[in-house]
Amino acid sequence: MRPLFPSVRAPLATALAMSLALTACSQAEPPAAVEPAAASATASTAPAAAAAAPAEPVRQGSSQHGALNISTLATGLENPWALAHLPDGRILVTERPGRMRLIGADGALSAPLAGVPAVVAEGQGGLFDVVPAPDFAQSQRIYFSFAEPGEGRLASTAVAHARLTDAGLEDVQVIFSQTPKLDTRHHFGSRLVFDGQGHLFITLGDRGVRPSAQDLTSHMGGVIRVNLDGSVPADNPFLGQEGALPEFWSYGHRNQQGAALNPWTGALWTHEHGPKGGDEINIPQPGKNYGWPIATYGINYSGEVIPEAQGETVEGMENPHHVWPVSPGVSGMAFYDHERFPAWKHSLFVGALAQRALIRLTLDGDAVTGEERLLEDLGWRIRDVRVGPDGAVYVVTDEVQGRVLKVELAG
């Protein structure tokens, strides 16, 4: 990897100081409830047993296409961040303080899995995404992202893979670690998407240091593309370019907590939190600049304009594919390409934290043609959404007593 310092150190430190002075905690993506005192929560500090909450009745919801059945698969999860279906019917779920559990094919919630590395579970930091490797059925390998501790208070978004065994996670290997590490607790990203061609996309955030999103000598604000072992693909857009880290696919992103591969085109789609207003969907193209903080549809939480902003659109920077003028607080993304509910075919599901809903966008080709909000009555922050192998839609709720829900059309 190319050396970062010393050239970037001073500007970054300045930017960091500025950012800390100016960054109000985003209402769309507030730091969740205060964590336990320990800076690094690990599985060893977790409750030993799974919550034995009584089964909840199936809830009813409404939608454009009729009644919904909303089943609770697990309760008592602390700020769950991601869920992932395994080929054998089990579901992996992460909890941001640093725990990973399995929901068995029988519905039983496991105790926290052993072997999860230490994470910085402060502010927005913790354990984030999890996905089975493309060859999971043979390798039992999973990939996950987390806030990796460094010296002192430093932390960075990192990605590891590990083997999922009856004893928990084994052979944990970090394959990517954002550089440099910072002491902020904001905007870690980070979703993981395989492209089906031997690459892994990692979506990052600016870590609350806005100018870093335009700085190719630091990973912040990037979509990262690596091979499955973390090495750099030979066709990455910035490979060999002086002053640019080779892992970049695209840059100029604020905080990307949703990403998925479009099943009809094979393209990566991502979304990101705007500041106050301006949550956006992008279809990141290699080498392109997505604008933050120079081009944005949002303003600061103070009501002031973003100091670096030059407008909603800026020449040479990519306009978002889709913008929400009022920020839902987007997190999690899943295309619907299953036969079970034809009414949902060609939809894009997106979780909403601040606006506490499951968003369903209708698509015509790539164009977003409509939007409906599901689960609003529940009033829960939706952190992640996935389509299961059964064609149901699964979400996790970002609550101190968070849930895994299964959502189905009743008809």
**Active site members:** 187
Looking at 26-34, 69-77, 129-137, 291-299, which segment touches Ca ion (CB under 5 A)?
Answer: 291-299
- Residue 266 Ramachandran class (φ > 0 left, ψ -120 to 50 alpha, else beta): left
Nearer to Ca ion, 198 or 325 (CB): 325
- What is the nearest approach in angstroms of Ca ion to the Cβ of residue 292? 5
The answer to whether 290 contacts Ca ion (rule: CB under 5 A) is yes
Contacts of 40 (CB under 8 A, 6+ apart): 98, 118, 119, 120, 121, 149
Residues near Ca ion (CB under 5 A), total: 2
Contacts of 146 (CB under 8 A, 6+ apart): 98, 117, 119, 126, 127, 128, 157, 158, 160
Looking at 63-71, 149-157, 290-298, 391-399, which segment touches Ca ion (CB under 5 A)?
Answer: 290-298
Give residues 352-391 in contact with Ca ion (rule: CB under 5 A): none
Q: Which of 229, 144, 133 is nearest to 189 (CA)?
A: 144
Largest CA distance in the chain: 62
- What is the nearest approach in angstroms of Ca ion to the Cβ of residue 118? 33
Q: Which of 190, 168, 164 is nearest to 177 (CA)?
A: 190
Looking at 107-115, 169-177, 229-237, 287-295, which segment touches Ca ion (CB under 5 A)?
Answer: 287-295
- What is the nearest approach in angstroms of Ca ion to the Cβ of residue 311? 12
Instruction: Find out whether 110 and 116 touch, Cβ atoms under 8 Å.
Output: no
Instruction: Find out whether 394 and 63 touch, Cβ atoms under 8 Å.
Output: no
Instruction: Find out whether 358 and 343 touch, Cβ atoms under 8 Å.
Output: no
- What is the nearest approach in angstroms of Ca ion to the Cβ of residue 291? 4
Looking at 218-226, 285-293, 377-385, 401-409, which segment touches Ca ion (CB under 5 A)?
Answer: 285-293
Spell out, one character per residue from 33 to 72, where the chain touches Ca ion: x when CB under 5 A holds, - when not: ----------------------------------------
- What is the nearest approach in angstroms of Ca ion to the Cβ of residue 320? 5
Nearer to Ca ion, 125 or 291 (CB): 291
Among 61, 149, 291, 328, binds Ca ion (CB under 5 A): 291
Looking at 104-112, 232-240, 284-292, 371-379, which segment touches Ca ion (CB under 5 A)?
Answer: 284-292
Nearer to Ca ion, 63 or 289 (CB): 289
Cα–chain-centroid distance for residue 46?
Answer: 23
- Residue 167 Ramachandran class (φ > 0 left, ψ -120 to 50 alpha, else beta): alpha
Nearer to Ca ion, 291 or 402 (CB): 291
Q: Which of 372, 411, 401 is nearest to 75 (CA)?
A: 401
Instruction: Find out whether 224 and 201 touch, Cβ atoms under 8 Å.
Output: yes
Give residues 6-35 in contact with Ca ion (rule: CB under 5 A): none
Q: Which of 152, 143, 220 is nearest to 186 (CA)?
A: 220
Nearer to Ca ion, 126 or 298 (CB): 298
Give the residue closest to Ca ion by C-beta. 291
Nearer to Ca ion, 40 or 327 (CB): 327
Nearer to Ca ion, 214 or 217 (CB): 214
Looking at 66-74, 289-297, 321-329, 351-359, which segment touches Ca ion (CB under 5 A)?
Answer: 289-297
Backbone dihedral angles phi then psi of residue 370, each to the nearest 5 degrees: -170, 170
- What is the nearest approach in angstroms of Ca ion to the Cβ of residue 177? 25
The answer to whether 351 contacts Ca ion (rule: CB under 5 A) is no
Backbone dihedral angles phi then psi of residue 44, each to the nearest 5 degrees: -70, -20
- What is the nearest approach in angstroms of Ca ion to the Cβ of residue 33? 29
Burial of 254 (0-12, 13-18, 19+ CB in 10 A): buried
Nearer to Ca ion, 115 or 221 (CB): 221
The answer to whether 284 contacts Ca ion (rule: CB under 5 A) is no
Contacts of 172 (CB under 8 A, 6+ apart): 115, 117, 160, 161, 162
Which positions lie near Ca ion, rule CB under 5 A? 290-291
